[in-house]
Structure 1
Amino acid sequence: MRQTENISSWRNFPAAQQPDWPDPAALRAVTGRLAEAPPLVFGAECDQLRLRMAAVARGEAILLQGGDCAETFDRVTTDSIRGKLKTLLQMAVVLSHATALPVVKVGRMAGQYAKPRSGAHEERAGVTLPSYRGDAVNGLEFTAASRTPDPRRLRDAYEASARTLNLIRALTTGGFADLHQVHAWNRGFVAGSGTGERYEALADEIDRTLAFMRACGVDTRELGTAEFFVGHEGLLLDYEAALTRTEPETGRTYAASGHLLWIGERTRDPDGAHVEFFSRIDNPIAVKLGPTTTADSVLTLLDRLDPDRAPGRLTFVVRAGAERIRDVLPTLVEKVAAEGALPCWVSDPMHGNTVTAPSGHKTRSFDTVLDEVRGFVEVHRSLGTHPGGIHIELTGDDVTECTGGGNTVRPEDLPHRYETACDPRLNHTQSLDLAFRLAEMYRGRGPLTPAAHAATPR
């Protein structure tokens, strides 16, 4: 059990990346109402995910986490949610079929409404306004009214998360996630797509397997649902604290805004408010580790957040960049292993590989993203440890935000459908392509030799 006797202790620590709310009384009113609202997730669900994450830590499962960089209120639609869920289900089928391991599916969904920013303000044409910090804080439109932080948006974020979760639960239990639907998930995607055709061949193989199972008398109806969890960066501590609940039956305390919360690269100070808050909750949690992370800082985070060394409690999500992953990761993994700890190690190949295209759009190269994943797997394979999975920004839509991939997006294509509210995401084709490439790496068929790495385009 975590040290939950003083869940408000984080208020005594410096809190980075918090909005400058202009009306503290309005903030207190909103968080007071949130404190009385029903939880978005339940402790038993969080405990179930901890069990699944423990399997990832032991090398018995793979984590697949993905979704928008920043969710927006206007994209809480059936089509948008269904598209992301479909993409993650397809990727999970590819990975599970190739590795014969269960895939733990966590959507970067139903709560990713706040973003840390490198600067508190943004300037355009001589006008300076607060930076956009996500729909839970302010608006994307570059006006004073839109960019002023408004605590009423926290309530909007709660309601948008509830609507998203309701639809996810309906889809994953109501037949949409049925493994018999593997062909239906691909509808409208096969034509003109080599990756789609490859997926369709895999779907045919799954159909034959299911037919064989039925012929042997196996009841395949229990394959009609999918276990699916949600998570987001636990950035806005006033919001997270308002939704924290202690269950009277167990005395355990959970951040009831999502199953899996993570601490970002900019807020992982061991002496900061985020680490203090996360040390008091019983959810499975994660920490993002950038290229400047030292082994000593990781060990300190381990002591603060997982003092009991419990598999499934803590995940380290590494976002070192393709150029640094092979240099940064080995020491971190070795030092943690020497402590007898068994966290999950997960690759975030997106955040360390953002560049600016000639058009001015932020973008990421599919080949560079793939190279960081490859380096992540290489390091774990060389150390005899388990590459636990991937955490990526994706959408089910046919956007043009990252270059490369199976149906190549060129730099000049970026303006066509550049729809993200913050950072660029892989589209449906690129996401599925990445799943096939990762599956080959896990099966040992991928080009992981040093020679092949040297030839990989960046």
Structure 2
Amino acid sequence: MPASADAAWAPDSWRSRPALQLPHYPDAEALASAQDELRNLPPLVTSWEILALKRQLAEAQAGERFVLQGGDCAESFAECNSSVISNRLKVLLQMSLVLVHGLKLPVVRVGRFAGQYAKPRSADTETIDGVTLPCYRGDMVNAPAFTEAARIPDPRRMVRAHARSAMTMNFVRALIDGGFADLHHPEYWDLAWVGHAPLAHEYQRMVGAIGDAVRFMETLAGGQVHNINRVDFYTSHEALLLPYEETQTRQVPRQHGWFNLSTHYPWIGMRTAALEGAHLEYFRGIRNPIAVKVGPSVAPDQLLRLIDVLNPDDEPGRLAFIHRMSAGSIASKLPPLLDAVKRDGRRILWICDPMHGNTESTSNGYKTRRFDNIRSELEQAFDLHAAAGTRLGGVHLELTGENVTECLGGARELTELDLKRAYRTTVDPRLNYEQALEIAMLIVRKRGQIAG
């Protein structure tokens, strides 16, 4: 039986386990009041959308689809506006267009947004000029300003996060239902860079080829091809703040068990994946497809125990491992994990996150990532999966549709001097739209090399 049918599991049973990376709310009554309000708000997603995504992820496990998961490292309340949301959607659509054209596979599009308002941190506090305050844990918890008042965890922020997630989802759905993703007009997805970027010609060639293919199919069919004017789009976030996730975990008519209705695809971060921890206890009981971030410190036995807890019935599409090793350690750390899972016969969707293991600080104090390291980890991941007889089924990226300069290198060869020009992230550095599209083209070339 699934854990959700187990009488020992409930949406709040995580409270009996050690909980990491959760803030301390000084006002217990305010926290309870915010949670009561959240429990009565409408859900953000539906159970049938969640189950549809699970079926698509099962197909990705079987090599019949490829998963593109991307978005901001941490959303901010201030950037919940139409321009930021539509540009984020544009770059993901552009990337998926490149992948569909090059891989000849359907793409599962998963946005890292509409809920990515909380972030784990490596330390509970930070010190500036001799002053020590609680660290910033995302807009769902506190504010980034370095003041005592701003850094106090405020439970009302969970309600604000829910509202902004709803606004984001509403706008994304309206864009897609209104034909924003229509393959007849991929030129609508263009951002300002397309006319002059180094990759513009190659991208425009793909757009032209897809347009020709669509017109050819419609000529043969004698009319418009069904559903070519819209795409499926799903949301994901790290389900870190368990007091919030608990309020969004509900039963629905004509379905057994419990669903987290704040997102289609929640994941567990590397810092909260303890086997006896609160986050695993929570995740084992929900019916959503789920993912776990896997770092270089994870041992094969630990990985197999994670599977035992989170997917004891070996359900297709249920569990993904998102490996994030670093370009320097993936060659030694990933193969033992692949071999253990393959030897045990477990059904796992493998996804590569080439971002988080490659974070560094520059001499002028910026937190950044080098495009060459991101590319190297991703290329090595394809090679290592091919050598192990497993399949890399997707990629997980922190990116934005804005013209930021946060990651070094790429087609424009950004340097440390460029970082100060448009460094806007409040937490981790993101690929800009141009670097993100370059990654999509790299995936196509690498998959082609392996297949050839």
Q: TM-score range by the shorter chain?
A: over 0.9
TM-score by length of 2: 0.97
> Is the CA contact 2:327–2:373 (under 8 Å) kept in the aligned structure 1?
yes
Matches within 5 A, 1:380-419: 380-419=385-424
Please give the per-residue CA displacement for 1:176-219, whole angstroms capped at 9, x wherever unaligned. 11111212212522222121221011101111111212221252
Which residue in the other structure is 1:73 paired with?
Answer: 77
CA distance in 2, matches of 1:92, 1:442: 15
Matches within 5 A, 1:50-449: 50-216=54-220, 217-220=222-225, 222-444=227-449
**Aligned amino acid, residue 125 of structure 2:** H
Cα offset, 1:2, TM superposition: 2.8
Residue number among 35, 39, 43 corresponding to 2:39 in the alignment: 35
The 4+ residue runs of structure 1 with deviation greater than 4 A are: none
CA RMSD between the two structures: 1.3
Cα offset, 1:3, TM superposition: 1.7
CA distance in 2, matches of 1:269, 1:201: 47
Please give the per-residue CA displacement for 1:136-191, whole angstroms capped at 9, x wherever unaligned. 00000001111110000000010010000001111111111111121221252222
CA distance in 2, matches of 1:198, 1:425: 23
TM-score by length of 1: 0.96
What is the DSSP-based 3-state SS (H/G/I as helix, E as strand, rest coil) of the residue aligned with 2:449? coil
Which ranges of structure 2 fall in alignment gaps of 5 or more residues? none
What is the DSSP-based 3-state SS (H/G/I as helix, E as strand, rest coil) of the residue aligned with 1:231? strand
> Is the CA contact 1:10–1:277 (under 8 Å) kept in the aligned structure 2?
yes
What is the DSSP-based 3-state SS (H/G/I as helix, E as strand, rest coil) of the residue aligned with 2:267? strand
CA distance in 1, matches of 2:219, 2:242: 54
> Is the CA contact 1:186–1:196 (under 8 Å) kept in the aligned structure 2?
no
CA distance in 2, matches of 1:42, 1:210: 31
Cα offset, 1:251, TM superposition: 2.1
How many residues align structurally? 447
**Aligned amino acid, residue 362 of structure 2:** A
CA distance in 2, matches of 1:320, 1:378: 14
Please give the per-residue CA displacement for 1:117-141, whole angstroms capped at 9, x wherever unaligned. 1110010001111000000000000
Which residue in the other structure is 1:2 paired with?
Answer: 2
CA distance in 2, matches of 1:369, 1:27: 40
Which ranges of structure 1 fall in alignment gaps of 5 or more residues? 449-458
CA distance in 2, matches of 1:47, 1:264: 22
Cα offset, 1:386, TM superposition: 1.2
